[in-house]
Structure 1
Amino acid sequence: MTPPMLKLAVIGSGPSAFYAAARVLSSVPSTLKDAVRVHMYDSLWAPHGLVRYGVAPDHPEVKNCTHKFHEIASDPRFRFFGNVDVVPPSEQTWPKAWTSSASNLPLKKPLVPIIAEKNRIKHPNPPHAVSVNLSSIFKQYSHLLIASGAPIPTLHPALPPTPGRIIPALDMVHWYTGHPNSTNSVALSPASAPGLIPSPLPTHVTIVGVGNVALDVARILLSDPDRLVPYGLPSSVMRTLRASAVTHVSIVGRRGPREASFTAKELRELMNLEGVAFAGVDADVLDAALDEGGTGRKLERQKKRILDILKKGSTRKVGDEGVRRTWSLEFWRAPAGVAEADGTPVSTGKGPMCLTLSHTTLSSDGRVKSTGETSALETSLIVTALGHQCVPETTPFCDPQLGHIRTVGGSFTHSEVQLQTKFGQQAADATAVEKPSTGGETSTTSPLASAAAATTVEPAPQATPTYGQVLHPRTHMPMPNVYAAGWAARGAKGVLGTTMLDAHAVGEAIVETWLAAEAAPGLTGGEAKEPQPTLAEVYQLPDGDDGREVTLDSVPKEVLDGLKRGPQRAKEGVVTYEEWLELEKMEAGEESKRLTWEQVGGFLALNDE
């Protein structure tokens, strides 16, 4: 490549991807702004990730960030390629150079893609997506940013997914947001699971997990459908909700109210739902949580607010006139098994199930343990809201032991002082994770301060690792010019604000490293004298067979073919951001709808005429 260029490929198009892209484009010196390109890829034809397909429909204020995304996409140095599935190489074709992260240090273990059996989950990407091997990306770009989120639900070992009976919350969220995979399941095999969401919805639903997603699902199921009309849920979803038979939702958590991860805002919304009453929490449970002296743990202000809301209860009480539905929080309960009412294994039929709940408490070291007691809960639908993760099958360089990509600053290396010096205290705070203290209290601390205790990983002596840089899942060595941000790097935790701060820090690190790279010593005074190598050159991959020159604006051949005008584009076409904006207008209207690929493909073919 000549002149030196920062040509960044971004996998994923959610908030972390856009925020990182924005910081890259804005951080480059004005004398070099024309030497930068950012190309964003997503396996879905529509951008914006969780903002479009994860945020609860009745939280439209969270989606205001899309205006910023539109602004980023209007930069002539930016391009979006939707309906492009970037896939990791198979074990047989894994480039040898990747086993050592382009260093001469010996491997700790021979490299093979690591896929734990418990995480062997099928993830059906749209069959019409254009498939591009990661090696093709390496041959076209100088830098890579993986910001594809955490697309796989964490499952409960005692609750095997069963269509219409036991389903991950992610499938429920995909259903009511109109995700293209909503007729499939990301956790079931075979991929296509007809009847995943039962219709009509049964009288009793149990949600396992006490995070914001659990409360989102409960709120949608408990709401009067008329309340949801302004928020644009797909018309098919609205029909199911209007026919719903739900009268009660139980939310089950294996810890107590102090440890619940939902926010006061989400809890208050649920308490104030029209026509819905909260059944209350056992007074002994609340008193124990409020007793700071008895627990030896100081009560944080946010937790105190949550406990006050729980103690006050809902606006409407059980038995009040006009109350149509109720909900409850079952703390200190962990699923131990489930069966049909007659004791047989759960099938895809209908009718009540018997959910066995183990009663739990905290051990002296803050871990959850069983008290030996159990109780039974009769329910007809179980939704597991236990978080999300990455797996190597879908996310390049994912570490299955972590459930996300191992990165510098994200979980394991770099000193807190260095991070604060480079990117400010906000960035250090954004990478903080929750861990139990010796007294069992959930406290927030930065993993950067205790890197030495967390891992024995040492950076390659010939390279200074930078924030967000990917550490190889086998060697734990920094991978030059390869970065990760957001949930893909830090795990599925944090809110949009922490994602933004993390992505900004990663974007700044990419530019800073590029400007200081030994491969581009001429990047001073506005004069570019030396070429910046592609990732394929850095990792010594074999040359491509198409013989095309790599330029600032070139793309992999598969993508170029997907952009060609003609009828084939209706089958496997690449969608640009400009085309997406036109498609978004088609989705708007009095009756909310999500376009199918057939409609999108038809638009592309018609647009090419």
Structure 2
Amino acid sequence: MGDAPPYRVAIVGAGPAGLFAAQHLVTQHDVPVRVDLFDRLPTPFGLLRYGVAPDHTSIRSVAQALARTFDSDRVRFLGTVELGRDVTRRQLVEAYDAVVYAVGASGDLRMRVPGEDLPGSGSARQFVAWYGGHPDATQQSLRGVRSVACVGVGNVAVDVARILAKDPARLAATDMPEDVLAELATSEVTDLWIIGRRGPQHASYTTKELRELLATPGLAVSIDDGALDAGHTDPEGLDRRTRANLEALREAAARPAPSPVRRRLHFLFWHRPVALHGAGRVEEVELERTALAPDGEVVATGETRTIRADLVLRAIGYRSTPLPDVPFDEARGVIPHREGRVLDAAGRVVPGEYVTGWIKRGATGVIGTNKSDAAETVGHLLEDLPALTRHPADPLEDLRLHGVHPTSYDDWLAIDAAEIALGAATGRPRVKIDAWADLMRLCRDGRMTEGEAAGVPSYDAPDSPTTDDLY
């Protein structure tokens, strides 16, 4: 790459999508590039840290691989910087040669049925953020909850059901915050419902996650009569994953109930919620049976039933939300683009601005999908760089003049070390720190108080504004 000054690229969002983009930029050898990874949290890794189920420890290898991105001296982590609050789009565009938006999906789809806003009705995304230790998560209470309905048949619904079905003692080895473990330990949940408006052959969960849920000790599994009938579709036309899912469900439905039964799991396919009912909070879910029309569309049959539910969690899909002053397609919930190049309202390419991850393609795919997605975006970015306006000065110096004072990767390492120390104090590999005040104190001081080191975290008022964002 010779002695040419490096190009400066800002990536907004330090989750998997942003980290894969950074990797592609700094591991190629044709164009000299320096990367600044911005995130509104003081912790990198995004949904890899806060959205993956804590008992899925095998994901650590992915986190370790992505963490190596920061081994490069051409990558900086700039935490606690939020686009629109701390820095504007214009400031980034004027400070960097190129900007990549990689913020993921911080919202979720709604059922749009009467009673959806009753207390006890919420988002599985928020529930995952709670047990995942996100500092913005809303505290969840399981007091008085006996029956939980998860609406949706993807991995999020399966993960939530598994966490609630599992013996809390088996979660003690995870990095869940202590207050989350304490709440789960008091759970009196007896029944879990997984509800899908289509059949099991249309479910999007993966076989590994499904089998893990079905193998939960003490779990009795039932499936609505007729849901597994092959009459809904041609079994020969099913892919390998779907056939494996159906086989797993049949095996679980046919086996005798365990003794004793700790939880009951009910799969209710071909049903959709039409209303939530309750006096002051959710008590029941009214469901309507659905069917598959000849054209493949799901249609209502008019046949209804009601199930008890003290907690209803919708898991019907994530959705990206607009970034301040950045083009956004409201209908699709993505930044409009052409193979990763951002487009304006007239459909023209915006020079120097790019997008990757869920906010590029929608909330689909697994963590690894972001790698090829980022490769496409970065490929076009590298093609465009020679024709873009150069900004040779260090952008961070200019941003600091505008009052931007980010936390660093060293600050994250202080948080990381503190979490490991908290885990050692309680016989666990790690205990996630989930309070803004504690995270920011570690960024300032690089250490815990004596009480925190002994495994007694503090919960002061946040030092930073909180939102529902999950970068």
Q: TM-score when scaled to structure 2?
A: 0.87
The alpha-carbon deviation at position 562 of structure 1 amounts to 6.1
**C-alpha separation in 1, matches of 2:231 and 2:162:** 25
The reply on whether 1:210 has 2:51 as its aligned counterpart is no
The reply on whether 1:574 has 2:406 as its aligned counterpart is yes
Q: 1:378 to 1:252 in 2, by over 3 A?
A: same
The aligned runs of 1:566-605 (5 Å cut-off) are: 574-588=406-420, 589-590=423-424, 591=426, 592-605=431-444
SS of the residue aligned with 2:82? strand
Of 369, 376, 394, the residue aligned with 1:553 is 394
The alpha-carbon deviation at position 201 of structure 1 amounts to 5.6
SS of the residue aligned with 1:85? coil
Question: Amino acid of the residue matched to residue 142 of structure 1?
Answer: D
The reply on whether 1:47 has 2:44 as its aligned counterpart is yes
SS of the residue aligned with 1:171? helix
Q: 1:201 to 1:56 in 2, by over 3 A?
A: farther
The aligned runs of 1:133-532 (5 Å cut-off) are: 133-158=88-113, 162=117, 164-183=119-138, 197-200=140-143, 202-282=145-225, 284-288=226-230, 292=234, 298-313=237-252, 317-318=256-257, 320-340=258-278, 347=280, 349=281, 353-392=283-322, 396-408=326-338, 467-472=339-344, 474-514=345-385, 517=386, 519=387, 532=388
The alpha-carbon deviation at position 377 of structure 1 amounts to 1.2
The alpha-carbon deviation at position 407 of structure 1 amounts to 2.1
**C-alpha separation in 1, matches of 2:125 and 2:231:** 30
Contact 1:250 1:329 in 2 (8 A): yes
Q: 1:164 to 1:197 in 2, by over 3 A?
A: farther
Contact 1:211 1:261 in 2 (8 A): yes
Contact 2:218 2:260 in 1 (8 A): yes
- The CA RMSD measured in Å over matched residues stands at 2.4
Contact 1:256 1:289 in 2 (8 A): no
The alpha-carbon deviation at position 164 of structure 1 amounts to 4.6
**C-alpha separation in 2, matches of 1:138 and 1:201:** 51
Contact 1:358 1:374 in 2 (8 A): yes
* Structure 2: tracts of 5 or more residues without a match: 448-471
Instruction: Encode CA deviations 1:218-260: one digit per residue, 9 max, x unaligned.
Output: 0000100111111111110100110001011001101111111
Q: 1:304 to 1:603 in 2, by over 3 A?
A: closer
**C-alpha separation in 2, matches of 1:159 and 1:223:** 31
SS of the residue aligned with 1:502? helix
The alpha-carbon deviation at position 79 of structure 1 amounts to 0.7
Q: 1:574 to 1:562 in 2, by over 3 A?
A: farther
**C-alpha separation in 2, matches of 1:198 and 1:164:** 11
Contact 1:278 1:317 in 2 (8 A): no
Aligned length: 438
The alpha-carbon deviation at position 552 of structure 1 amounts to 4.3
The alpha-carbon deviation at position 28 of structure 1 amounts to 3.4
Contact 1:406 1:470 in 2 (8 A): yes
**C-alpha separation in 1, matches of 2:299 and 2:161:** 27
The alpha-carbon deviation at position 145 of structure 1 amounts to 0.6
**C-alpha separation in 2, matches of 1:57 and 1:171:** 15
SS of the residue aligned with 1:496? coil
Of 68, 74, 78, the residue aligned with 1:77 is 74
**C-alpha separation in 1, matches of 2:216 and 2:446:** 45
Instruction: Encode CA deviations 1:492-537: one digit per residue, 9 max, x unaligned.
Output: 01012212121122223322332xx4x3xxxxxxxxxxxx515xxx
Question: Amino acid of the residue matched to residue 267 of structure 1?
Answer: L
Q: TM-score when scaled to structure 1?
A: 0.68
**C-alpha separation in 2, matches of 1:161 and 1:291:** 32
Q: 1:8 to 1:264 in 2, by over 3 A?
A: same
Question: Amino acid of the residue matched to residue 76 of structure 2?
Answer: R
Instruction: Encode CA deviations 1:422-469: one digit per residue, 9 max, x unaligned.
Output: xxxxxxxxxxxxxxxxxxxxxxxxxxxxxxxxxxxxxxxxxxxxx311
Say which one has the larger Rg. Answer: 1
Which stretch has the larger CA shift, 496-505 or 552-561?
552-561
Question: Amino acid of the residue matched to residue 373 of structure 2?
Answer: D
Question: Amino acid of the residue matched to residue 404 of structure 1?
Answer: V
The alpha-carbon deviation at position 180 of structure 1 amounts to 1.0
The alpha-carbon deviation at position 67 of structure 1 amounts to 1.8
The alpha-carbon deviation at position 151 of structure 1 amounts to 0.8
**C-alpha separation in 1, matches of 2:324 and 2:244:** 39
Amino-acid identity (%): 32
Q: 1:498 to 1:606 in 2, by over 3 A?
A: closer
Q: 1:303 to 1:248 in 2, by over 3 A?
A: same
Contact 1:206 1:251 in 2 (8 A): yes
SS of the residue aligned with 2:134? coil
Q: 1:480 to 1:236 in 2, by over 3 A?
A: same
Q: 1:146 to 1:289 in 2, by over 3 A?
A: farther
SS of the residue aligned with 1:313? helix
SS of the residue aligned with 2:60? helix
Question: Amino acid of the residue matched to residue 509 of structure 1?
Answer: H
Question: Amino acid of the residue matched to residue 191 of structure 2?
Answer: H
Contact 1:137 1:556 in 2 (8 A): no
Contact 2:177 2:432 in 1 (8 A): yes
Instruction: Encode CA deviations 1:397-418: one digit per residue, 9 max, x unaligned.
Output: 221110112222xxxxxxxxxx
Aligned to 2:461: none
Contact 1:279 1:317 in 2 (8 A): no
The alpha-carbon deviation at position 607 of structure 1 amounts to 5.2
Contact 2:115 2:275 in 1 (8 A): no
SS of the residue aligned with 1:279? strand
SS of the residue aligned with 1:37? strand
* Structure 1: tracts of 5 or more residues without a match: 88-129, 184-195, 409-466, 520-531, 535-549, 564-572
Q: 1:291 to 1:155 in 2, by over 3 A?
A: closer
Q: 1:491 to 1:216 in 2, by over 3 A?
A: same
Contact 2:116 2:275 in 1 (8 A): no
Q: 1:58 to 1:314 in 2, by over 3 A?
A: farther
Question: Amino acid of the residue matched to residue 244 of structure 1?
Answer: S
SS of the residue aligned with 1:19? helix
**C-alpha separation in 1, matches of 2:283 and 2:259:** 30
Instruction: Encode CA deviations 1:251-297: one digit per residue, 9 max, x unaligned.
Output: 11011111111111111001100111212342x2212357527xxx7
**C-alpha separation in 2, matches of 1:292 and 1:278:** 25
Contact 2:7 2:392 in 1 (8 A): no
The alpha-carbon deviation at position 166 of structure 1 amounts to 0.2
